[in-house]
């Protein structure tokens, strides 16, 4: 069974601070996705990474896929209250129809 461990589970910071969220596994994934979910809504896809060592930037968000494709990180620079939400990572494995989801990191950014 593949597992994805996310850390930290909860994060409460002030506007303007930087933060990093981690997604780790002992399994290799063919791709990894990051989603953000706001309260009462469905998760929204932020990015997909597929190559070991890949770095993608989305405005103030930087995503990195580990060289061995077993882990990933999400770094947010100068966090804003609009970044508040639940961040979920999910790993995919080639032929499987079932992604593996982490339990999420709940982020609160205070103004």
Partner 1 sequence: SQTIHQWPATLVQPVGSPLSLECTVEGTSNPNLYWYRQAAGRGLQLLFYSVGIGQISSEVPQNLSASRPQDRQFILSSKKLLLSDSGFYLCAWTHPNIKETQYFGPGTRLLVL
Choices 17-25, 42-50, 57-65, 66-74 (CB under 8 A): range interacting with partner 1: 42-50
Choices 12-20, 55-63, 73-81, 88-96 (CB under 8 A): range interacting with partner 1: 88-96
- C-alpha–C-alpha distance, residues 10 and 93, integer Å: 27
- C-alpha–C-alpha distance, residues 2 and 102, integer Å: 10
SS3 108: strand
Q: Is the dihedral of CA 65, 48, 100, 82 positive or negative?
A: positive
Binding mask 13-32 for partner 1 (x = CB under 8 A): -----------------xx-
| Residue pair 43/88 in contact by the 8 Å Cβ criterion | yes
Number of residues binding to partner 1, judged by CB under 8 A: 27
| Interacting residues with partner 1 (CB under 8 A) | 30-31, 33, 35, 37, 39-45, 48, 86, 88, 90-92, 96-99, 101-104, 106
């Amino acid at each position: 069974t593949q597992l994805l461990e996310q850390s930290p589970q909860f994060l409460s910071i002030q506007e303007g601070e930087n933060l990093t969220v981690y997604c780790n596994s002992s399994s290799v994934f063919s791709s990894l996705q990051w989603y953000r979910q706001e309260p009462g809504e469905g998760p929204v896809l932020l990015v997909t990474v597929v190559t070991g060592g890949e770095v993608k930037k989305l405005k103030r968000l930087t995503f990195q896929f580990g060289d061995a494709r077993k882990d990933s990180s999400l770094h947010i620079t100068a966090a804003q209250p609009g970044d508040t939400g639940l961040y979920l990572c999910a790993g995919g494995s080639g032929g499987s129809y079932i992604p593996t989801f982490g339990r999420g990191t709940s982020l609160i950014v205070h103004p």
